[in-house]
Amino acid sequence: MKEPLNSAEAPITQKLIKQISNVCFSVFVFAVLIITVIAITYQPPDPWLESAPALTHLFTQVENATFKDDSSVLKTGEDFSLPPALAPSSVLQPITETVIANYEHNLTSNATLGPTACAEDLEDGVNCSDPRVLIAIERFNLRLFKSIVFLEYSTPVNGSKPNQCDVAWKFRNRKEKSWRKYRDFRRFRIGLGDDCAYKVIGASGWHSGVNARRPRPRPTPANRNPKISAPYRDSEINDTIPKINSDTNFRRGRYLYYSRGGDYCKGMNHYMWSFLCALGEAQYLNRTFVMDLSVCLASQYNPSGKDEEGKDFRFYFDFEHLKEEASIVEEREFLRDWKRWDKNHKRKIPVRKVASYKTTPMQLKKDRSTIIWRHFDAPEPENYWYRVCEGQAANNIKRPWHALWKSKRLMNIVSEISGKMDWDFDAVHVVRGEKAQNKQLWPHLDADTSPEAIVSKLQGMIQPWRNLYIATNEPFYNYFDKLRSHYKVHLLDDYKELWGNTSDWYNETTALNGGRPVNFDGYMRAEIDTEVFIRGKTRVETFYNLTSDCKDGINTC
């Protein structure tokens, strides 16, 4: 017979179990509390910066007067995935095989469409306006250009020969996440298939279909200049300066005005980091940002080695897109309207002057002054704009990366270079310059980026005789000649005509600059190099591909 459990043991066991249960429950409650606090206070990283965490870390350091590394171009909004909510409703939908098939089906049910062409019908040439010709061209393009999203075609027109048709279309590159459109026009040779249907039997290169190009305006006798061609103006660029229009509108507005600080004449990465902080604060405060369009280009981008003031923001960035995405007013217009108001009215405009970045955006949230004017008069680095977005403010201010795109004029050059290689190329980014000379921080970089080393490395990564675009800061054009025995090498300087004095870029920027020619500077080169590199099918980077040296020097990997 089993002995009964000792009466003294039972309560002890029960108490032990109860205590363990209480401890487990307490741990559970504590864990839930911690998770709840984290969920409330955690701020997710800026989605526009997730592809550049090293830059995020770099930009939050303030021990130096300038950022340590400005050799690469910071990606802007068109290089990141766009939230669907940001895309305008007017964006053209891609032309896919399904769209073409539906269009073709509708044509076949159209009684007014003539019979299918046969060989004898081409004796007098191709009827380029026949919709079935366009269908053949659209299908040919879809097969040939996999990296292109086709958005809209014009009606084909006759080429220079009876069997040729020229056609223009609008497109964007799949690797560019913006909704900007670009144009190409090409010449196609049209034949017939076994089923008597039209087919493309050959196509010429980029911008070859000159009959489909929109006509250029003829210069008037008053401004005729034999050295400058009549400009073709991209109708999608509207970078005019917005105006406030009236005293009433000015007085009713709410503005955030930043005085020029220590960021002026720093590198472009520094400039963008600070500018987007200011724009982010304006959006947080629900104010119009007063914007200085004058940019000082830092010395590292100029052949002279000197800072260059008076550069226009619109040379580098898309002002039209910025106007659409953010409430801004140009500084000179703003100051002119402010002065006019104070001259014509006894009651002055209410102004809140803020002397230090330590006054946070949260403290200014309820301020009703017409103008909040931030001053940056302290010594560096206390006078950097981006200091406003540090500390607790970082939880509230979000930099609007989606508002900052590269200049459409420069991106047109990117598309032309890519188009001239038929969008079928590989790319290598070769960093040399001062880094290759600094053996203390980068002991192997010079040797690892020698032509012989690059050839050896690329042979295992890129097929021979492919189009190879080299994005580089190496100043000597012939430095890469040894690669020409293995690849069809392309460098930015191979396309100088795209910014020469007869180019669209030259004419448009000259007009934007009050009739003074604009120097094609180092940052423009870096922007274009970066964007062409991104479009390569195989991309080889200097760091982590060509060399084992760390990007920011020894022991920084």
User: Is residue 2 in some structural domain?
Assistant: no
Same domain, 370 and 441: no
The pLDDT score that the predictor gives to residue 51 is 36
- Strand-pair partners of 187: 166
Q: How far, CA to CA in Å, does 243 sit from each of 240, 250, 336, 344, 513?
A: 9, 10, 11, 19, 19
The pLDDT score that the predictor gives to residue 482 is 97
Residue 112 pLDDT class (50, 70, 90 cuts) = low
* Chain segment 524-535, per-residue pLDDT in tens: 999 999 999 999
Q: What is the mean pLDDT of the chain?
A: 85
The pLDDT score that the predictor gives to residue 117 is 57
The pLDDT score that the predictor gives to residue 312 is 96
The pLDDT score that the predictor gives to residue 179 is 85
Same domain, 355 and 412: no
User: Among 17-21, 54-58, 153-157, 549-553, which is the least confidently predicted range?
Assistant: 54-58
The pLDDT score that the predictor gives to residue 274 is 96
Sign of CA pseudo-dihedral 285, 287, 288, 292: negative
The rounded distance, in Å, linking the Cα atoms of 199 and 194 is: 10
Same domain, 392 and 413: no
Residue 49 pLDDT class (50, 70, 90 cuts) = very low
* Chain segment 340-350, per-residue pLDDT in tens: 888 888 888 99
The pLDDT score that the predictor gives to residue 15 is 67
Can you tell me the mean pLDDT for 220-233? 50
Residues 295 and 270 sit within 8 Å (Cβ to Cβ): no
User: Is residue 420 in some structural domain?
Assistant: yes
The pLDDT score that the predictor gives to residue 62 is 40
Can you tell me the mean pLDDT for 216-221? 56
Residues 446 and 439 sit within 8 Å (Cβ to Cβ): yes
Residue 547 carries which DSSP code? B
Judge if pTM exceeds 0.85.
Answer: no
The pLDDT score that the predictor gives to residue 16 is 66
Same domain, 328 and 368: yes
Same domain, 412 and 496: yes
The pLDDT score that the predictor gives to residue 21 is 72
SS3 253: coil
Same domain, 126 and 211: yes
Same domain, 452 and 368: no
Same domain, 146 and 267: no
Q: Give the chain's domain count.
A: 3
Domain ends where: 200, 217, 234? 217
Percent of the chain topping pLDDT 70: 81
Domain limits at 312?
A: 77-83+256-403
| pLDDT score of 229 more than 80 | no
The rounded distance, in Å, linking the Cα atoms of 205 and 489 is: 18
| pLDDT score of 484 more than 90 | yes
